[in-house]
Amino acid sequence: MSSDWKKYEKQIVDKLKTEFPKTDIKLNVKLDGIYSKIQRQVDILVKGTMVGKSIIGVIECKCFNKKIDVKIIDGFIGFLEDVQANMGILITNVGYTTGAFNRAMAKGIKIDIVEYIKLSSYHFDWDNCETCDFNGHYNEIYWGTKMLCKTDSLAVTIQVGHCSFCNTTHIKCEKCKTVISISDGDYDKDHHCSCENKYLVTSEYIGDGMNEDNFYLILGRKKLSFNPIKAKERRASL
């Protein structure tokens, strides 16, 4: 491994410690493989509590001369299972194939690509769905549409996302970063963020097996609509 790549690893560790100060983060750790029965080298190990649950996260930093393919992801999945990690991030200097991405998403693995020169502006984002906790596996929320509700005296922005496994809708307040899960039983109910904003989410059937979620900010007796900053958010009926 080159000195530049070692420096790259160290920078990632420093960023993790800054963004997740309550977790235990170690560089170049050896863990016992429960299936291989040998010690496995882990580039970066993250242990702690996120969203109220214990995690063991493995971050592997790889320098390739071509895109990550399915075989590499298959190997990474086996590696995570061997060291009993419930979160994995594979960081590389190059991109990944569509097949590799699809394979990783099917397992719930987060793949991120961080270029050395862009590391300072990169942020690790580990929002996980609390609705579906299957055998201790954490399913990531993929954030999409940003929505704005604006009045003469107030502007509130939220981001809408969905769980990679169960498709549950989530909203995140852009100011306080509170994440609110909207399961089937949570529609047409009031929800609050740390800013003390009150939200309401409704679901309307629009045909062809599709529902459209509508997002509102509640101010007193007024129900004000959030409007998408980008495309209108839709989700399939379950």
Q: What is the pTM of this model?
A: 0.60
Residue 231 has a pLDDT of 41
Asked if 151 and 195 sit in the same domain, the reply is yes
Report if residue 177 sits inside a domain: yes
Asked if 89 and 151 sit in the same domain, the reply is no
Q: Tens of pLDDT along 56-109? A: 889 888 777 788 899 999 999 999 999 998 888 888 878 788 888 778 766 666
Domain residue limits at 86: 3-119
Asked if 180 and 205 sit in the same domain, the reply is yes
Asked if 96 and 163 sit in the same domain, the reply is no
Residue in this structure with the two tokens 């590499």, named with its chain if needed: 72
Residue 2 has a pLDDT of 57
Asked if 15 and 34 sit in the same domain, the reply is yes
| HEC profile of the chain | CCHHHHHHHHHHHHHHHHHCCCCEEEEEEEEECCCCCCEEEEEEEEEEEECCEEEEEEEEEECCCCCECHHHHHHHHHHHHHCCCCEEEEEECCCECHHHHHHHHHHCCEEEECCHHHHHHCCCCCCEEEEEEECCEEEEEEEEEEEEEECCCCEEEEEEEEECCCCCEEEEECCCCCEEEECHHHCCCEEECCCCCEEEEEEEEEECCEEEEEEEEEECCEEEECEECCCCCEEECC
More confident residue, 100 or 238: 100
Asked if 20 and 106 sit in the same domain, the reply is yes
Q: Tens of pLDDT along 194-207? A: 999 999 999 999 88
Q: Tens of pLDDT along 153-211? A: 899 999 998 887 788 999 999 999 899 999 989 999 999 999 999 999 999 998 888 88
- 34 pLDDT band, cuts 50/70/90, is very high
Q: Could you give the count of Cα atoms lying within 13 Å of 145 in the half-sphere of its Cβ?
A: 19
Asked if 161 and 97 sit in the same domain, the reply is no
Asked if 162 and 62 sit in the same domain, the reply is no
Asked if 168 and 218 sit in the same domain, the reply is yes
Domains: count for the chain: 2
